[in-house]
Chain A
Amino acid sequence: TQLLEQSPQFLSIQEGENLTVYCNSSSVFSSLQWYRQEPGEGPVLLVTVVTGGEVKKLKRLTFQFGDARKDSSLHITAAQPGDTGLYLCAGTGAGSYQLTFGKGTKLSVIP
């Protein structure tokens, strides 16, 4: 079973601060996805990374896939209250279509 460990589990910061969330595994993933989930709703896909070392930017969010495809990070610049939510990483292993989820990082951005 491939496991994804996310850290930190909880994060509370002031508006305007920067933050980084991590997603780590001992297994290699063929692709890794990041989702944001708001209360009462399902997860919404933010980005998919597939190449080791790949960096993708989505406005103030920067996603990086580790060179060995075992880890990923999400960096938010100048966090806004609208960034509040549960951030989930999820990966697919080689030859598998199943998505394995981390337990998530719950982010609160205080105005």
Chain B
Amino acid sequence: DADVTQTPRNRITKTGKRIMLECSQTKGHDRMYWYRQDPGLGLRLIYYSFDVKDINKGEISDGYSVSRQAQAKFSLSLESAIPNQTALYFCATSDLREGYTFGSGTRLTVV
């Protein structure tokens, strides 16, 4: 099994729908992150969490929410999807010794 697992890998949804992207990890890291990647814009931080009771907004949190259900699980929700949220989404974990480990990504298309 991958260290950081994201589901689904691909998703097409309609404008206005609520969608949840899930992330689970076996690294045992406390810190977890959600990024989105757009062509020409690189990776931008949406939300991050340093432990189960700690949630922080990143650079581009508007339109998104997160839930840290357990140390190993961190989900990202789009309450009402819009087309400009079409992107590649990555979950990551980190610790000071090992650095960052990324999942394989979720390709989301909002039509």
Residue positions of A touching B, CB distance < 8 A: 1, 33, 40-45, 48, 88, 90, 97-99, 101-104
Which B residues lie within 8 Å of A1 (CB)?
59
Known: A43-B90, A90-B100, A103-B40. 5 other contacts (CB 8 A): A45-B100, A90-B43, A98-B48, A101-B44, A102-B42
Chosen A-B contacts, 19 in total, with CB atoms closer than 8 Å, are: A42-B4, A42-B104, A42-B105, A43-B43, A43-B100, A43-B102, A44-B102, A45-B99, A45-B100, A90-B43, A90-B100, A98-B48, A98-B58, A99-B33, A99-B100, A101-B43, A102-B42, A103-B41, A104-B42
The answer on a CB contact under 8 Å between B105 and A40 is: yes
| Number of B residues with CB within 8 Å of any CB on chain A | 23
The 6 A-B residue pairs with the shortest CB-CB distance, nearest first, are A42-B102, A103-B42, A101-B43, A101-B42, A45-B99, A43-B102
